């Protein structure tokens, strides 16, 4: 995983099985920087409160613990995914 900025938008790039994926790099719960998290299969885990997102769809796989949601009055919500094209070993992300 690597974090980049495309047109000022923080993007997380992940290469899994030869395919490159692009998703928002900032957790929707409390703004954890996902490139500092963990990638397990196709799931990225936020380093702050452990919200989990599917790299393919941007959907929340596992929300933050109930106590965190209650205390912060916030749930993790789905992230945006981006179209990716690899041309001559250069990654292009459409934002």
Q: What is the pLDDT of residues 56-68, one digit of tens each?
A: 999 999 998 777 7
Cα distance between residue 26 and residue 85, in whole Å: 21
Cα distance between residue 4 and residue 1, in whole Å: 10
**Superfamily of segment(s) 2-94:** Rieske [2Fe-2S] iron-sulphur domain (2.102.10.10)
Q: What is the pTM of this model?
A: 0.91
Question: How does pLDDT run across 15-67, given as a tens digit for each residue?
Answer: 999 999 999 999 998 899 999 999 999 999 999 989 999 999 999 999 987 77
Residue 74, pLDDT > 90, answer: no
3-state secondary structure of 50: coil
Cα distance between residue 49 and residue 64, in whole Å: 6
What share of residues in the chain are helix, strand, coil (percent, to 5)? 10, 45, 40
Higher pLDDT, 64 or 94: 94
């Amino acid at each position: 995983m690597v974090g980049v900025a495309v047109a000022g938008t923080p993007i997380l790039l992940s290469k899994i099985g030869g395919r490159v994926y692009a998703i928002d790099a900032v957790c929707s719960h409390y703004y954890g920087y996902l490139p500092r998290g963990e990638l397990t299969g196709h799931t990225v885990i936020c380093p702050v409160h452990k919200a989990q997102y599917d790299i393919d769809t941007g959907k929340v796989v596992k929300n933050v613990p109930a106590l965190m949601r209650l205390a912060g009055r916030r749930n993790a919500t789905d992230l945006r995914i981006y179209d990716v094209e690899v041309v001559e070993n250069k990654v292009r992300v459409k934002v």
